[in-house]
Amino acid sequence: MKRCVRCIMPDTAKGITLDALGICPLCHAYREVEPRGEDALRQEILPFVKDIAGENCIVPVSGGRDSAYALYYVKKVLGLKPLAVHNDNDFESEIAKKNLEAITSSIQVPLVRVQSKRQLHRKVVAEKYKMNAPFGPGRIVEQTCEACKYGFESGSYNIARQRGIKVIFWGDSNDESTTPYHSLFDHEEPSRLRRLLSPSVVHLLKYKYYFGRMKKEYGSDSPLGLKEIHLYDYVRWDQRVIVDTIQSELGWSVPEEAVTTWRVDCTLVPLVNFLSEKAYGVSKLEIGFSNMVRAGKMDREDALQKTALVKKNTDINQLRQFLRELGISPQLLE
């Protein structure tokens, strides 16, 4: 296996071919995007936050790194009065729970939790896994986060409507997005006929039922005129600055054994990484590390070391036990 000499993408990954200089297509296509800046951000949000006496914005928080910094920035730098909204998605890690309390109490931000009354996130994920298993790991990993994404979005929208809040700050970052990599190749979608003829069709029906129940519980997923701000479109995403700030100012932390500060908030991450590597020849974290190296925000050698540790620490028996707890046959991991 060879790796791109600029980032760390392996040539065994689907869609990756190194040129004569050992450079991958993602590095050739990369163009740095300059953030729009704090002044532009203040002008953008002013009509939505002025003349509001109480909480004047929402910051969805997972307990992870980037949303924690978004909460800090909105409160301490912009001087706004945010309401933190968390979706209890049935897969939050113990450190995420600890961090949620730490980051909100340290800067005195109210925390509102939304959740399914019947553990519908777990049921949606389990049925989606079982319905997609016959079509390969790629189909599973591409849709694993659907329920959580819907819960965070619709939960935040509903709280905003209930409280008359008109702006939401999201802490997602293009620097960690896997979209550029996945755009390199076509993702085959099983036809409706193949799905209906598959032995897993019963799980398709169960998935639709549980997701329908979730939509009724959470309500509309439409923003209905709310202003949505993606903070890192305006503020430069810098892993070192983010981690140093939230650890020193908010009391945010990671477990001692953690290889990386990224995605420590979700217990699904090891499974998603494993399935991604089986499907594409590269894990989701590895794609993220490559992005950061490409953008000059992570040292290449550090990325290689962390990638090796993630692979070394993958415990197949723990993944099988995790599936059992979800009601999924461990054989479906193969």
Q: What is the pLDDT of residues 212-269, one digit of tens each?
A: 999 999 887 666 678 999 999 999 999 999 999 999 999 999 998 899 998 899 999 9
Instruction: Please check whether residue 212 lies inside any domain of the structure.
Output: yes
**Percent of residues, the chain, with pLDDT higher than 90:** 84
Residue 328 placed within a domain: no
| pLDDT of 155 strictly over 70 | yes
For residue 130, is it within any domain?
yes
Task: Give the percent of the chain with pLDDT over 70.
Answer: 99
Q: Which residues lie below 8 Å from residue 31, measured CB to CB, with a gap of 6+?
A: none
The model's pTM is 0.94
pLDDT at 81 over 70: yes
For the beta carbon of residue 285, count every other beta carbon within 10 angstroms. Answer: 25
Supply the range of the domain harboring residue 208. Answer: 35-261
Tell me, what's the pLDDT at 227?
94
Interval 43-76: pLDDT, tens:
999 999 988 889 999 999 999 999 999 999 999 9
Query: Which has the closest alpha carbon to 208: 267, 158, 266, 146?
Result: 146
What is d(CA 126, CA 121) in angstroms, rounded to the nearest whole number? 9
pLDDT (tens digit per residue) in 88-106: 999 999 999 999 999 999 9
Position 123 in a domain: yes
Q: Evaluate whether residue 27 is within a structural domain.
A: no
| Mean pLDDT across 138-156 | 92
pLDDT at 221: 67
Kindly report the length of the chain.
Answer: 334
pLDDT for the residue numbered 236: 94
In the predicted model, what is the mean pLDDT of residues 292-309?
Answer: 94
Mean pLDDT of the region 146-160: 93
Does the residue 62 lie in any domain?
yes
- DSSP alpha helix (H) spans, the chain: 25-29, 38-49, 65-72, 94-106, 120-132, 137-143, 146-163, 179-182, 192-197, 201-218, 239-250, 269-280, 284-294, 300-312, 316-325
Cα–Cα distance between 284 and 271 in angstroms, integer? Answer: 10
Q: Name the residue with higher pLDDT: 81 or 117.
A: 81
Q: How confident is the model at residue 15 (pLDDT cuts 50, 70, 90)?
A: very high
Name the domain count of the chain.
1
Mean of pLDDT over the chain = 94
Instruction: Say if 178 falls within a structural domain.
Output: yes
Q: Are 82 and 75 a contacting pair, CB within 8 Å?
A: yes
Rank 52-56, 214-218, 319-323, 328-332 by mean pLDDT and report only the highest: 319-323
Does 312 reside within a domain? no
Whole-number Å distance between alpha carbons of 319 and 324? 9
Angle subtended at Cα 151 by Cα 148 and Cα 154, rounded to the nearest 5 degrees? 145
Please compute the mean of the pLDDT values over residues 155-184 and round it to a whole number.
92
Contact (CB, 8 A) for 121 and 91 = yes
- pLDDT given for residue 223 in this prediction: 66
Confidence of residue 146 (pLDDT cuts 50, 70, 90): very high
Indicate which CATH number applies to the domain containing 256: 3.40.50.620
Rounded CA separation 153/151 (Å): 6
Q: Is the pLDDT of residue 272 over 90?
A: yes
